[in-house]
Structures are given as structure tokens and as C-alpha cells.
């Protein structure tokens, strides 16, 4: 069984936009990842906003089954709210909280991100979250 990969906004935007700084790195990671890659609606919202006229690419990735929505805030808003409160000093976005919660739900998962805050966040209280991220910014 493969370990799930959970997509954050940064790599999604970088994959969809060749002009993004991390496009080559993010796109290069795809050949090492099993599909579908999981994400949440909060990430899709952020990505669509950042991509502007290119937001259609987010839906093309969903349509191609490269990526799936693997989380329902309706079912997990209480633990997400607790995470946002715990990391209020960072501060933690809704998307980040959903991804941390997803990493708790999907055993053995890794978060595909450009966001250094995930090095601070912990899942299940104190566990380091495995990441797929560039070595340097």
C-alpha cells in the first residue's frame, strides 16, 4: 500500500504556473509520487485565488484524477479549530490546519509543501509531520 501525499497550496500553484519560482522543483517531484494526491477545499480555494485566470488548471487536475479532495471540514471542524487555536501565534491558516488534520487521518502520509510553518506544526500533539519540501528557500 502506498503512503498518501497531501498537497498544499504552494506546490499546486507552482505546478500550474511555469512562472512560479518553485515550478521546476514541484513539477519534478511528481514523477516520484503516486496518484491520486489528496488535498482539501481550503487549499483549492487559496490556489484558485492565487492562480487567477489560470484557476481552471486546478479543476483540470481534479478532472484528470491526479488530485482528489480527501477531507471534509464538516466532519473535522472541531480538531481543525483546536489546531488553529494552538498555533494562533504562527498564525495557522485554515488550509494549513486542514492539512495537519489530514496528516493525522491518513496514516503514513507526507505533506507536499513550500511552507516552512509545517516544520513547526505537529500532528497528534507532538509528532513531526513528514514533508516533501525544497531543502532551501
What is the arithmetic mean of pLDDT over 37-58?
96
Cα–Cα dist 95/93, whole Å: 5
DSSP 105: H
pLDDT of residue 119: 95
**What are the backbone angles phi and psi of residue 24, rounded to the nearest 5°?**
-60, -45
pLDDT in tens, 9-40: 999 999 999 999 999 999 999 988 988 999 99
pTM summary value: 0.94
Position 136 pLDDT exceeds 90: no
Domains of the chain: 5-132 (3.40.50.1010)
pLDDT of residue 2: 73
Burial 3-31 (b: 16+ CB within 10 A, else e): ebbbbbbbbbbbbbbeebebbeebeebee
CA dihedral 121, 123, 126, 130 (to 10 degrees): -80
pLDDT in tens, 71-119: 999 999 999 999 999 999 999 999 999 999 999 999 999 999 999 999 9
pLDDT of residue 69: 96
Amino acid at each position: 500500500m502506498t503512503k498518501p501525499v497531501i498537497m498544499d497550496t504552494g506546490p499546486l500553484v507552482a505546478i500550474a504556473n511555469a512562472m512560479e519560482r518553485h515550478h521546476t522543483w514541484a513539477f519534478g517531484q511528481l514523477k516520484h509520487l503516486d496518484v491520486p494526491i489528496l488535498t482539501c477545499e481550503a487549499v483549492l480555494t487559496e490556489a484558485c485565488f492565487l492562480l487567477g485566470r489560470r484557476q481552471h488548471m486546478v479543476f483540470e487536475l481534479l478532472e484528470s484524477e491526479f488530485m482528489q479532495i480527501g477531507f471534509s471540514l464538516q466532519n473535522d471542524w472541531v480538531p481543525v479549530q483546536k489546531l488553529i487555536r494552538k498555533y494562533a501565534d504562527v498564525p495557522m491558516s485554515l488550509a494549513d490546519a486542514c492539512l495537519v488534520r489530514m496528516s493525522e487521518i491518513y496514516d503514513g502520509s507526507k505533506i507536499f509543501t513550500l511552507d516552512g510553518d509545517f516544520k513547526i506544526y505537529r500532528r497528534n500533539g507532538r509528532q513531526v509531520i513528514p514533508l516533501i519540501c525544497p531543502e532551501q528557500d
